[in-house]
Structure 1
Amino acid sequence: MILKFPSSYYSGAGKTTLLNVLNCRNLSNFHVDGVIRINDRLADIDMITSMSAYVQQEDMFLPTLTVREHLVFQAMVRIPSTVSEAAKIARIDQVMRELGLDKCADTRVGGSRFFKGISGGELKRLSFAAEVLTNPSIMFCDEPTSGLDSFMAANLVSIINKMARSGRTIICTIHQPSSDTFEMFQNLLLLADGRVAYFGEIKSAIEHFAKIGHQCPENYNPADFFVHELAVVPGKEIECRKKINRICDYFERLSRERQNSDSLHSSIGSSSSFSTTLHKHRRQSRYKTNRWQQYVALTWRSHLTVIREPALTYVRLSQALVSKTIFQF
């Protein structure tokens, strides 16, 4: 299942902040009220981290490492030590094949001003590969198609779709998707002014808005249509917010009717079956390896970086010699 948070036309709508709140990450400068629940169970940061992965909009890579070496490092610090080295290597090879990275496995990531490495599409897929290594049940993706052309964006979303069909729940924010890319998502969540305007299957969203009197034109991108209907246009704030409240009130009324018609027995059954999984994850730590293994992995990565950038070593050595000479005088 894929949930999609469509963006507004204006940057700063709060898409990344929403994902950060759901992941309990990068909140040092924020005050957040409320709690996060998974199937009506209170979720803490350890539980969320152990059962989910977060593909952020901007990821940091060391340009001197190859694709395979980057994934090896991620496996060293993320996959538990109980898993054998052979199993880790097999998992890395499997993930590279699934995401189409096997052809550039021995190519440096690059991106620095000195040399060019893999392409932008391969860089996005590498971000996914690093998170998929641990086989998480929930994945959060912050604008995975930003910076890609329409073909590469559709290709990446098709990969995400396959990953979702394998049993994962993938939650994405996406920026101005094409109609082909938009149709690859299964479920849609529309937010406006902090309220839910729609949550359900994408194929039913257009019909839902038509019942309120907002008909999507033929041969028109549904994603653009939803953004237009829920956007607050400068100079028309009062009119736009009245329309947003009317749309959100209608969906809220439908949601209450569905909740009243649902069977209490089925709700209790699904909650109890899932609670066992949640308690299992609650006992797990967010850190999969001990401090020694993390130290070994960081030392190995630093060694590769130093030997592949000899100029940096010469600069540091020259700085040390100059500083020593100055202090002697």
Structure 2
Amino acid sequence: MGGVSVVAAPGEEIQQAVLNHLQRLAISLGAPIRTTIHDDRAGWVVSLEVSANGSSRVLGQPVRVTAVPEEPVTVEPAVLAGPSAAGAVLPAGPSTSGAAHPFTPAPAIDLPVSRVDVPPTGTEAGLHTTPPTPAGPRGFDAVAEEVLGDGPLIETVEGADLLTEPMRQICEAVRTGRIEAAADLADRTVTGATAALGLRHPEVLHLRELVAYIAYLADDPVRACGLSLDLARLRRRAWGAEVAHGNVQSAATAWRAVRDPEEGLRLGRDLIDLWTDLAAEPGPAAEDPRPLESARARMVRLADRAARARQP
């Protein structure tokens, strides 16, 4: 599958092993995966879409091919940028021979995921088309609306069991002004979620955004800016400039609250270097250069302040 061997457990059909693997990958990415499966043993080529909740559906009609037993099953996965067109499980369409297809999708299930890291680039996992975009541009405003509103805070199936209650407690602490308690609980929750799900899992990234926002509320803009820059770098490497832009916005918000000019210059250099790289790629940073120009202007003012502070 994408150059990686998938081995069936004793007594397990290879078709089920492949489907289980695809479900785990889709859940960990938080994005649908579309696959073309060449089952030469059974003599079929079929396209499947596995959604982020683990459900799956057949796309179009299976195609009958000549069986070649030496090459039983190969899979070409590709992660979709947008949500699945339908989450319902659809039966396989009838074939020209009238035989049932071996890759009829299974219904959505809660899969145990002990540790799944999203690869830094799609090519390493054999994902040949559009890179995944598990979340659109975000900033502290979006995080605040989520914390203060009634919208869903959990993005994946496995995150629901692990994180629903801690997230409720964190948001309640923020709403009631107990920022120190919220920060402590958020840090502990991130540590546990990272150990269970992996550093680049969507739920972990989501939590780290929340940690950065709480640091900003706690009047620690240096930490909030650093955390947001780390997230922006990670998301840019994995998913591109557009997904990273929201975290750059958060980093800029925190950076503008940094009072010490030397600290502001240090963080500002990191921020502007990353922001300049994003502006060189298609996406929101390239479409509106004014915030980056404003940040550069602030760097000049910070340099002047730092120079005056160094004078005897």
- TM-score, with structure 1 as normaliser: 0.25
Higher RCO (C-alpha under 8 Å, 6+ residues apart): 1
